[in-house]
Homo-oligomer: A and B are copies of this chain.
């Protein structure tokens, strides 16, 4: 344990590398990610990277952590400011689509990309991605269940199915946006969930308006 200054230098590098690697991973793929690229983009040496992570796989796992932290910060946390119930579920959908739309990551969604990339490659990375996806679906399902329990949505609505619906519309949006046009795709994704929620709403007037 030494002074703060020394710890900070290594920590700053670490964060800078993870930021860059996350960004590049959404373009080239988590596996297509090359240490050369990361090192060059940051102006550090490739071997400097090995000082922080002993292997490419170790870096990839760190990138997954980093992506999760970013997702929590930028998508989940802001939505939690909305009151529990259907408004919160809707807020998550909106903040997620906004995350894509703002181009925070050039490749759109780190997790969607990675899950498609690794869907047929067993191993440590795929296992980690499965955990992340499980956590996310659990979160969405809980939001949907809350919306029903609080009386915003009718009891016939199924939380797991609502979660699946929400996730579907979000994933499809980030897939189609760069190829089919951003404005219309995200608009479609918003209207589709709003329409769906309206069909199950106990009182449609409480639902947020689509701009």
- Select the residue from A26, A178, A199 with max chain B CB neighbours within 10 A: A178
Chain A contact residue count (CB 8 A cutoff)? 46
Residues in B with CB closer than 8 Å to A85 are none
Q: B188 to A27, Cβ gap below 8 A?
A: no
Residues in B with CB closer than 8 Å to A29 are 29, 31-32, 117
Main secondary structure of the interface of A (DSSP, over half): helix
Q: B164 to A192, Cβ gap below 8 A?
A: yes
A164 with B189, Cβ < 8 A, contacts A107-B120, A108-B120, A116-B116 known: yes
Q: B119 to A192, Cβ gap below 8 A?
A: no
Q: B179 to A126, Cβ gap below 8 A?
A: yes
A195 contacts chain B at the CB level, 8 A cutoff: yes
Residues in B with CB closer than 8 Å to A192 are 161, 164-165, 168
A106 with B130, Cβ < 8 A, contacts A29-B29, A168-B172, A171-B172 known: no
* Additional A-B contact list (16), CB under 8 Å, known A26-B120, A117-B117, A161-B191: A29-B117, A31-B32, A113-B117, A115-B179, A116-B116, A129-B179, A160-B188, A164-B189, A165-B169, A165-B192, A167-B172, A168-B168, A168-B171, A168-B192, A171-B171, A171-B175
